[in-house]
Amino acid sequence: MSSKQDLTRQFTAEEGIIHIGGIEALVRLTMDQIRFDRRRGLNNAMFISGYRGSPVGMLDANFIKQQKLLMQHNIQFVDGLNEDLAATAVWGTQMMHTVGKQKFDGVVGTWYGKAPGVDRSGDALKHANYTGTLRNGGVLAIFGDDPSCKSSSLPSQSEAMFYHVGIPSLYPGNVQDILDFGLHGYYLSRISGLWAGLKIVTNVADGSGSAIVDPDRLKFITPVVELDGRPYSPEVNLGMNVRKDALDMERTLYYARLELARQYARENGLNKVTLPNVDAWLGIITAGKTYHDLRQAFMEMGLDDDALRRAGVRILKIGMLNPLQPDDIRDFARGLEEILVVEEKRPFIELFAKEILYGTANAPRIVGKRDEEGCDLLPFHGEFESDIIARALHARLSRKTRLESAEAWIRRLDEIHSRNALTTLTRSAWYCSGCPHNTSTKAPDGSIVSAGIGCHTMAMWMKRGVVMGTHMGAEGAQWIGMQPFTDTQHIFQNMGDGTYAHSGSLAVRYCAATNTNITFKILVNSHTSMTGGQEIMGAEPVRNLVAELVANGVKRIIVTTEDLSRYNAVNLIGNTEVWHRDRIMEAQKLLAETEGTTVLIHDQECAAELRRQRGRGKAWEPEAVMVINERVCEGCGDCGEKSNCMSVEPVQTEFGRKTRIHQPSCNKDYSCVKGFCPSFLTITPKADPKAGEVKKKKKGRLPALERELPDPVFKVDPDNFGAHVMGIGGTGSVTVAATIANAARIDGKWAVGLDQTGLAQKGGAVISDIKVTATPFDGANKISDGSTDLYLGFDILNATDNKNLDKCHPERTIAIVSTGQAPTGYMVSDKAVQFPNVDRLTQGIDRVSRRNDNVYLDAQTLAEGLFADSMATNMFMVGVAYQAGALPISAAAFETAIRQAGVGVDMSLLAFKWGRMAVLDIDYVHAEIRKYEAKAPKLPELTAEARQIVDSVGASGEVRRLLEIRVPDLIGYQDAAYARRYAAKVKRVMEAEQRVAPEGSALTEAAARYFYKLMAYKDEYEVARLHSDPAFLAELDAQFPHGYTVEYNLAPPLLSKRDPETGEPIKQKYGPWVLKAFRHLARLKHLRGGKWDIFGKTEERQLERQAIEDYDRLLDTLCDKLSRDNLAIAVKLASMPDEVRGYGHVKERHIALAKARQAQLMADFNNPQAAKARGAAQVVQFV
C-alpha cells in the first residue's frame, strides 16, 4: 500500500479502526459531518475559518494539506486574518437565509482558535450564539487550551468564557472522543440554535491513538423542551440591534436553548458512569484528558476495576462541561458519602456540582481543589499528571481502608523525586540557523526593547535588552501609558509581520496618532514560523506596507534587507530608504532620534521555510559555502556572537576549542563571516562534470549493508511497554516516534502517543511518549515518572534533563542514548558555556536505569559518517534500541512503517539496519565509515633536529605526544632555536612537577599546550602559513573533489576601513590570488620581530610578544614555589592562555578578563590555605 493511500485512509475509511493524531482527527471530523449529512439526504457544505495557535497551531496546515479531500466534501477552508474576524465569517454561514437562493441545503460552520483568540473573540462569539443557528447548519467552535503553557504566553482554561457567552462545551479526552463529541456538537448546534464548543487541550491535540469510525456507532436523540407551553423550535433572530429582539434572544438562550443542551447531554449519554458501583462511598467526577490521567493513576496504584469497587469507588466521566446536566449529577451522587472532583485549573465542574446538590437530602460532601477543612487537595495551577492525582486519591481512600499497593507507588514516587539532581545544560529553544531574527532583534546598547508574540520573543533569553512584552496585537500600546511618567524617551517594539496583519497594525496606528516616541521593528519573514511556517493571511508587499504606515502617520521608515537587489526599481513613498542589513544598528539609532512613531522594516524570509523550499527545488540556493580553517581559528566565539547561528559549532581539536560550520544545517545566511577572524573562506564548489542539471538538490549517500542481522532477545514486555523519546526540534524526532507507534500497530498492538513539542521547532527539546499494549488502553498517553521501559535519547542534554530522568527507574528502564555533543544556543553565543562532561552525564543516566543493558554511542557522528546526512541519526538510534532488545516490535513491522511514512524511505531503512549493526559489531560500522573519509594527512616523521629537541626533554606519555606535535610546528613557525626555547621551558616545569607530584603531569601538559599557544601567536606570517599549508589545502581538495574557487575574508590592519558604528575593522573579500600572496608572505617569517617586520610594529603584535615573556616568567615562578598544596592552582595559572582568544579588539577584551582572573589565582597560589578555606565557606553557603 502506498504512503499516499495510507495517509488518506485515516480521513476516508468509514468502517473498522483507524490510527490518527489529535489534529488529524479534527480534520476528519469535518468530513465525517458532511458524510453524516449525506446519509440523511442533505446536500450540505461547510465553511471553516479560524486562527492558528498552540495546541491547534497546525490545524490550518492540515486543512490545507487535505484540500483536495475537503473540496470533495464541499468544505471550504479560509484561513482567518484573526480569530474574531474568522468567527464573524463563520457566523455568516448561519445567515444564509437572508440572501436569496442557496447552492446547498445548508452550510455548517467550524471555527477554531487558541485561548487568547477565544478571549479576543468574546463579542463575536456572544453575538453569533445569541442570534442562533440554522436547522441544516450549525456551528462547532474548537477552542484550544494549553494548561501547562508549553507554547503560550499564559496557561489557559477557556470553558469559563464559553459559559459566559452561553455556548455549551464538550471535552474530548482522546481521538475517539474528538470524532464522537464533535459530531454530537454539530448535531446539538442544529437542534438547539446554539453554537457548540469543543475543548481541545495540548495532550489531546498532540496525542495519537485508535478510533472506531463505523457510522452506526452513534445514535443521535433529539430531546423536546417546552417554552410558553409548546415544544421549542429554534429560529435565527438577527435583530440584535432591536431591544425587544435582543431580550428575546436572551430569554430563549436561558429558558430553552441551554435547557435543550442539558437534556441532549442526558438523553445521548454524554456523561457516562464508567465505573458503576451501588456500594460506593466515594464518587469521582472528572472529564476529558483528566479522566485518562485518573485511570492512569489507578493503574499505577495497582487498583483495577474490581479493586476500586471493593474500595468503594464510583466514577463519572463528564462529556459536556457546560451546561452541567443536573440529573446526571444527582443520580451519580445517590448513596455517596463524598464526591471528589478531579479537574485542572480553576474549579468549574466542582462549582456547578455543588450548586446542583446544595440543599438536597443526603447530599454527599464535595471536595476538589480543597478538602472539607479548607486544605489544599488538588492544585489550581499547571497541568495534572497521574502522580498528582494519585496523591489526592490516596489521601481520600486511605481514610476508609489501607491500600498497600497505592502506598508502595507513592513511596516509589517519593524516592524518584528525592534523587539528587544531575548537573547538566538545558537545551533552550533558539533561532534557526540563518534566522533573520538573529540580526533583526539586535538593538543598540542601552536600548529598551519590548517583545510580543512570535519567534522574535525568544530574544528575551538572548541578552538583547528585551524587558517587557504584551499580548498579541497590542505590542507598543503599553508605551503610550508609560512614556509620560518616565525619563526614558524612547523604546523599540518588535512585531512580526504575522502579528501586524492579525491586529498589530492598530497598535502602530494608535502610537502614530498619539505621536508616541517609539520605533516599531516590523519583522517581515513571510511566514508564521512559530506555528509551522504557514503563509500569512493578509500579508502585503513591503511597498504596500510602507504606504499604509505613511498614511497612518508614521514619521520615518527604513527598510533593511540582506538582498538590496530585491528593491531595484521598487519605489517606496514617504522618503523611505532601503539599507543593507549590515547597517541595521545605524538605522535604529537614526529612527530612535526621530520624534514620533517610526518604523524599521526588516525584510528577510524565514530561514527554515527557505531551506524547505530549496530542498524541494522551489527556491534558488547560493552555491557558496563557508569553511573555517580550524588552525587559523582561535575559538574566540566572535562569529557565534555576531551571527547567533546554531550552525557555528564549537569543536575540540588538538589545539583546543575551535569553531566549525555544520554544513548539513547551514542555511547560507553568511552572517558568521562578520566574526573578526581571518579563518573564514568562501568556497564556491564546481559542479560534477558527470552530473546533469538537477532541480532538486540531492544529498547524502546510501551505504549498502549485506550482512545478516540476527533477531534480538527482547528485554522488556512486548505486550505492555512504554518509550520516552527525547530529541531536538527540527531533526525529525516526532516523525520517528510516529513510525515506532505505527510499527507497533502493524504488529497487531495498540499504541497511543504524545508529542510534547512547545518551542521544539526552534531547536529546543522535543519529547515523544509511546505506549504499546496488547489490548485497548484507557490510561494517559503520557509516560508517568518511573514508568518508561525504553529511554531513547537522540540528544544527551535532553536525556539528562532531570524532568526526563524522573521517567526512569533502575529496575525497569533501558537507556539508549546518543552522546553526540550538539551545541546549545548559549554555547554558540557564549564561548564560556561548555558542553558538560559526557562521562558524568552517562553516569547520571546509569544511576536511574538498567546500567548493564544501556547503550551509549555518538549516533550523529556515525550517521553522518555513513550517510553524509545527519537526518539519518534518529532512525539509526531506533535500530540501536531494537537490536539492544529495548524495542520489542518486529523488524518487518519497522520496515513496513518506514515505507508507509514515505519520508526518506531508502535512507531510513538502511539507517535502521546500520543502527542494529552498531550493537552487533561497532568495528564493522567504523570500517564502513573509513571508506568515505578523506585520507587524513599523516604527520610527517620527526626530523633528526626535531627529534633531538623532543628527546632533550626526557618526557613520556601525553607530554611527549604534545611535544612531538608542537616542536616541529614551532620549527615551521620560526626555527629550531625557537622550538628549543619551548622545549627547555617544558622540561623545567616537568622537573618541578615531578619533585612535588611524580605521579602526575597535569602542570607539564598545561605548560606544553599553552606556552606553545603563546609562542605560535597568529600574526600575518602565521596566518599565511596556515592558509597555504599543504595539509589544509588537501582537506579542501577532498571536501570539494570537483574543484572550487576560494575567497578569503580578511581585514588587513594596514588596509581595512573601520565600521562607523563600532570602530571595528571591516572585513572584505579577496580572491584566489591571495593564496599565492600567502605563500610568499609565509616565507618571510624570518622577519618576525625584527627591524623589517612592518606588521610587528602594531600594539597587538607587541602585546603578543610580551605575553610570551610574561608567561615564561610565570612558569619560573610556579616552578620555584610549587608544592602539593598549590599544584592544582598552578595548573589553572598555567592554563590561563586558553582564556585569551581571538584577533584584534576581540583578543584585547579577553586579555583584560584573563588578567583579572590571573591576579586572583596568583594570590591563591601564594596562599593556598586561605583559598581552600574560602572555597569551603562558599560550599557551605551554597548548601
Domains of the chain: 14-216 (3.40.50.970), 271-417 (3.40.50.920), 442-605 (3.40.50.970), 622-696+1027-1085 (no CATH), 720-930 (3.40.920.10)
Q: Would the pLDDT of 691 be above 80?
A: no
* Range 670-697 average pLDDT: 82
| Higher-pLDDT residue of 971, 731 | 971
Please, are residues 661 and 424 in contact by the beta-carbon 8 Å criterion? no
Tell me how crowded residue 547 is: count the other CB atoms within 10 A of its CB: 16
Tell me how crowded residue 444 is: count the other CB atoms within 10 A of its CB: 15
| Higher-pLDDT residue of 506, 530 | 506
* Range 1037-1057 average pLDDT: 89
Sign of CA dihedral 499, 500, 504, 507: positive
DSSP per position, 829-893: H-TT--PPPHHHHHHHHHHTS-GGG-EEE-HHHHHHHHHS-GGGHHHHHHHHHHHTT-S-S-HHH
Q: Would the pLDDT of 939 be above 80?
A: no
What does the H/E/C string look like for 310-359? HCCEEEEEECEEECCCHHHHHHHHCCCCEEEEECCCCCCHHHHHHHHHCC
Please, are residues 761 and 730 in contact by the beta-carbon 8 Å criterion? yes
Cell numbers at residue 680, please? 573564514
Residue 759: per-residue pLDDT: 60
Cell numbers at residue 540, please? 502585503
The residues, any chain, with a CB within 8 Å of residue 364's CB and separated by 6 or more, are: 283, 333, 336, 337, 338, 339, 357
The residues, any chain, with a CB within 8 Å of residue 783's CB and separated by 6 or more, are: 722, 723, 724, 769, 771, 807
Residue 4: per-residue pLDDT: 38
* Range 802-806 average pLDDT: 96
CA distances from 57 to 50, 182, 197 (A): 10, 19, 18
Query: In what side-by-side order are the strands of the sheet with 169-170?
Result: 75-77, 44-50, 106-114, 139-145, 196-201, 169-170, 320-322
Question: At 1175, is the pLDDT very low, low, confident or very high (cuts 50, 70, 90)?
Answer: low
| Higher-pLDDT residue of 940, 931 | 931
| Beta strands 720-728 and 765-773, pairing class | antiparallel
Residue 609: per-residue pLDDT: 86
Q: Would the pLDDT of 1179 be above 60?
A: no
Distance in angstroms (rounded) separating the CA atoms of residues 934 and 123: 66
Question: At 5, is the pLDDT very low, low, confident or very high (cuts 50, 70, 90)?
Answer: very low
Residue 1183: per-residue pLDDT: 32
Q: What percent of the chain has pLDDT over 90?
A: 79
Distance in angstroms (rounded) separating the CA atoms of residues 1001 and 393: 60
Q: Would the pLDDT of 462 be above 90?
A: no
Residue 153: per-residue pLDDT: 86
Q: What percent of the chain has pLDDT over 70?
A: 97
| Higher-pLDDT residue of 381, 1178 | 381
Residue 614: per-residue pLDDT: 86
DSSP reduced 3-state for 9: helix
Residue 933: per-residue pLDDT: 84
* Range 853-878 average pLDDT: 95
Query: Smallest Cα–Cα separation from 647: which of 701, 685, 700, 607?
Result: 607
1101-1126: pLDDT as tens digits: 999 999 999 999 999 999 999 999 99
Burial 510-537 (b: 16+ CB within 10 A, else e): bbbeeebbbbbbbbbbbbbbbbbbbebb
Residue 1176: per-residue pLDDT: 53
* Range 975-984 average pLDDT: 96
Q: Would the pLDDT of 7 be above 70?
A: no
Average pLDDT across the chain, whole number: 92
Distance in angstroms (rounded) separating the CA atoms of residues 493 and 732: 34
| Higher-pLDDT residue of 606, 1012 | 1012
173-192: pLDDT as tens digits: 999 999 999 999 999 999 99
* Range 571-599 average pLDDT: 95
464-496: pLDDT as tens digits: 889 999 999 999 999 999 999 999 999 999 999
334-376: pLDDT as tens digits: 999 999 999 999 999 999 999 999 999 999 999 999 999 999 9
Query: Smallest Cα–Cα separation from 1027: which of 627, 624, 625?
Result: 627
